[in-house]
Amino acid sequence: MFNKTKKFALSTLSLATLFAFGSANVAAEELYYDMYGNVHVSLDSQDSQDNPEFHSNTSSFGIKGGQKLGDSDTEVIFKLEWQLDPTARVRGEAVVDRDQWVGFKGNFGKVTFGTATSNYKQMGGKVDPMYRTQLEARSALMRIASRQLHSGAGIDRGRLTKSVNYTTPKFGNGFQIIGNTTFSGSDDETFGAGVRHSGDKHLIYVDFFSDGDTDGFGNSETAVKGGGFYKFSGWKLSAQFESSEDVDGSDYWMVGAEYKVNDKDTLKFSTGAADGARESSSFAIMWDRKLGGMTNMYVGFGAYDDDNNSALDDDMLTFGVRYRY
């Protein structure tokens, strides 16, 4: 009953929004769109592997845009994005769909329908200095963030399929609320909600996740995480804590730091630990250099320490290049 109530409330909100659109002047304005993407490849030497390997780090391309509805403040919006792997030539595996949705935005906020990044996943990249590298917190090496809830696609993964997502406009001097739920026709629909407060130098967030009736007896698996960052004098300090033992067997914490040495060079550091089914800790350090425009290169080192089995200890040296467009 708890999940059905939340889903009904979100459905009602979506229908009310659509009825509001019907009363507006829907004479279509010109469509606007933007093509974007990035190619990001690294060469990685891992202690547990015999030889260095190339990896793609969420290389992707996409198109997003919208169209204003007449004289109203409402726009139809869309996003179509795919992930590619420049290191692979296997058909069906080298290109994978990512966020793909259609929706509306206006004074009421934003609502989308389709496959979209969950509220629980969204903030991870804001606080992780190593985001989208082989040393990121959710990586197989570092293991200081939930991989299940921050990656993949499905009704209980980082990217929610068959979902409705709503984000409020900012209010109260920087607050924002986001909610999402899936409609897959099963008994274990995912529901999530989060609160953010942001400004020029800070971000604070709390997010909740529930994957509904997973065992047929009304029991749901839930997770909660909180975190944020603060910027000052060339520094960016960040932290995140996850209570997700019900979902994947562990709780996690991580802290990060970035220091802008000059206009081109940034030093980055992260550390954290897992507690529960996985007892471990890890740290990473990285030097990142802008090469001009939207291109950067980096070199980093990360180490993983398993508290229960030293045979699982591992480390990695990574060198990467990323071009954005």
pLDDT of 16-25, one tens digit each? 444 444 444 4
Please report which helix (H) or strand (E) contains residue 84, including its range. Answer: strand 75-84
Question: What average pLDDT does this structure show over 23-40?
Answer: 76
Q: Is 247 helix (H, G, I), strand (E, B) or coil?
A: helix
| Among the four given CATH numbers 2.70.150.10, 3.40.50.880, 2.40.160.10, 3.40.50.170, the one describing domain 2-324 | 2.40.160.10
CA angle 205, 211, 213 (to 5 degrees): 145
The answer to whether residue 5 scores a pLDDT higher than 90 is no
pLDDT for 4 equals 41
Please report which helix (H) or strand (E) contains residue 46, including its range. Answer: strand 32-46
Q: pLDDT digits over 249-292, tens only? A: 899 999 999 999 999 999 999 999 999 888 999 999 999 999 98
The answer to whether residue 199 scores a pLDDT higher than 80 is yes
Q: pLDDT digits over 160-195, tens only? A: 999 999 999 999 999 999 999 999 887 778 899 999
What residue spans of 141-183 are helical by DSSP H?
A: 147-150
The answer to whether residue 6 scores a pLDDT higher than 60 is no
CA angle 223, 56, 85 (to 5 degrees): 105
Cα–Cα distance, 245 to 223 (Å, whole number): 7
The answer to whether residue 294 scores a pLDDT higher than 50 is yes
For the chain, how big is the Rg over CA atoms in Å? 21
The answer to whether residue 12 scores a pLDDT higher than 50 is no
pLDDT for 88 equals 81
Least confident range from 25-34, 54-63, 82-91, 232-241: namely 25-34
For the chain, percent of residues with pLDDT exceeding 70: 87
Mean pLDDT of the chain: 88
Q: pLDDT digits over 295-307, tens only? A: 999 999 999 999 9
pLDDT for 156 equals 76
152 pLDDT tier (thresholds 50, 70, 90): confident
pLDDT for 91 equals 64
Q: pLDDT digits over 80-107, tens only? A: 999 999 888 776 667 889 999 999 999 9
pLDDT for 251 equals 95
- The answer to whether 282 touches 302, Cβ cutoff 8 Å, is yes
224 pLDDT tier (thresholds 50, 70, 90): very high
pLDDT for 142 equals 96
Q: From residue 89, how far is each of 8, 82, 92, 95, 228 by CA, in Å?
A: 44, 16, 9, 10, 39
